[in-house]
Structure 1
């Protein structure tokens, strides 16, 4: 039996789970419709949008796996549970988007060089249906995000915002082709869609990469937190401080502190933990109490002791 009571290492996300199942089934169905429509109409813009939809299906599938893994309890091997898979899934989703976008650019260039005939009526019908589907899914995901924070749902939301814009682009492309017979509008719109997809993928890759690299989450200011800990009575110095995210809303902090030996260490730890929880919402922290004369810190410790002695002489 393992006790990890300070931080909930599991996520029970019933709302996100229902939302993603609904989104996955509807997306998979329309993806098939759009692929068939794109092939029959010979529209690259429509096919590029369907490739984006395929990436959505893969992304949603990975998100579902992440949500189910997040419910598993931590164990002796995975002491943080399986929450980090949410971030791995998001990274893979973003990478898939970027690769698909590059493929769309390459095909778009080929179509510029060698234009092909397009069935604009079928293209317009499929794109209009896609617009309605993507609008519904975007609203569903947005509503889910308001109830439960989840990076995978957020990633899916950005996917469908891109899909929504893609559907609008395909419709505009079909209308322009109908009135002007300019065939290169189709690959042009497809490359614009590719740009949207690449930008969304890059954003997701960056956010998940920063978490995987255990960088300080953007919502926190490390210097500000360091100063808040230093203000706790009995704390004389804060160093070796690390703050990172396990998943999108699970944070951990560790720090070493030199303390005043005249004050009870347990009181200092309690005060630091309360400060972190109340001011910053950080509930999982590990604070190591140290004395500069006992714990070796090289030049840093010597400099601290010299500074403290000088301050005491001036009092």
Structure 2
């Protein structure tokens, strides 16, 4: 970068926002191509700390409940000879591991950034969500394989005991889901959402086990056990596919749903004095933390500092992007660089 650099830093915390402008001179041979850069660095430490604490509490409660019910369904499945209960206990075993992984991811994300990892360890949460989605695929595949094996020769099942155990499991799963919704961010945090989907998958498994138990108890249809188990696994696969699609989109540096690049470009170009916006990049670092970089070309008489402030305010207020770096270039500077 050459000539005079202006850096605009905005901080948002418990105090009112304030701005700092710094001007510094470069060496004489560099003064022919000045640029202005704006970096929006908003300090949301308190907000993220509170969100992380809530997510951690919700996951811890859900992990405790899941572990207890997993053991109950496993023993109940062995005693009643129910595939639905055994498959659900296996699903809950993967859920317990997924919840533990999500808790570990929250701890990793809290680690400070380092020179080698300038964004810190936030992406570990996305990796945990991806792994959780993959385990859902494996569990669903195992259930379908076992269901196929029992389809042509369904064994007798102690349906009454099966319904009782499944009902207890359902209540526990709903309690886990409630705590995650109450304490955690299941809407926007992919890591917590992946754990939430695992818990909902458990609840579906329990509903399926109850339905199969009632059909077997009333009509002696033991084939209902593998059929309903396979149907529940298909629902689990659907949720897993949606989760993995979102995590892969983040890992591929895709733009967040809340900020369409074309819409952002149009809005920035509407700022008075802006002639062109180029080299625009928008991506998600982790759930709730989006970034933006771009270059903005302005007219010769346009106040670059004013444009910077308006641009930073616009991308935060309209698109929720709080981490951005914008370089403002004057038209006369671009002509000078072209002729050099």
- Class of the TM-score when normalised by the shorter of the 2 chains: 0.7 to 0.9
CA positional deviation for 1:147: 9.5
Alignment of 1:12-91 (within 5 A): 12=49, 13-91=52-130
Q: Which range moves more in the overlay, 8-17 or 215-224?
A: 8-17
Counterparts of 2:185 and 2:325, CA distance in 1 = 31
Partners of 2:269 and 2:277 within 8 A in 1: yes
Counterparts of 2:186 and 2:81, CA distance in 1 = 41
Partner of 2:156: 117
Partners of 1:9 and 1:80 within 8 A in 2: no
- 1:216-268 CA-to-partner distances (Å, cap 9, x unmatched) read 11122221111111011221111111111111100100112222122232222
Partner of 1:177: 216
The alignment partner of 1:114 has SS state of: coil
Counterparts of 1:98 and 1:46, CA distance in 2 = 18
Partners of 2:292 and 2:321 within 8 A in 1: yes
1:293 aligns with 2:332: no
- Indicate the structure with greater strand content: 2
Which stretches in structure 1 are left out of the alignment for 5+ residues? 297-315
The alignment partner of 1:26 has SS state of: helix
> CA RMSD of the aligned region, Å?
2.1
1:264 to 303, 308, 328: 303
Alignment of 1:156-305 (within 5 A): 156-290=195-329, 291=331, 292-294=334-336
- 1:173-231 CA-to-partner distances (Å, cap 9, x unmatched) read 00101111111110001101111211111111111111111111112222111111101
Partner of 2:194: 155
Partners of 1:15 and 1:148 within 8 A in 2: no
Q: Which range moves more in the overlay, 173-182 or 119-128?
A: 119-128
Change over 3 Å in CA distance of 1:188–1:4 after alignment to 2: farther
TM-score normalised by structure 2 residue count: 0.81
Alignment of 1:138-153 (within 5 A): 138-145=177-184, 149-153=188-192
2:146 to 107, 118, 133: 107
Counterparts of 1:237 and 1:78, CA distance in 2 = 32
Counterparts of 2:130 and 2:300, CA distance in 1 = 46
Change over 3 Å in CA distance of 1:221–1:125 after alignment to 2: same
1:98 aligns with 2:142: no
Counterparts of 1:39 and 1:175, CA distance in 2 = 18
Counterparts of 2:123 and 2:267, CA distance in 1 = 29
The alignment partner of 1:293 has SS state of: helix
- 1:261-298 CA-to-partner distances (Å, cap 9, x unmatched) read 222322222221121122222111111223443566xx
TM-score normalised by structure 1 residue count: 0.87
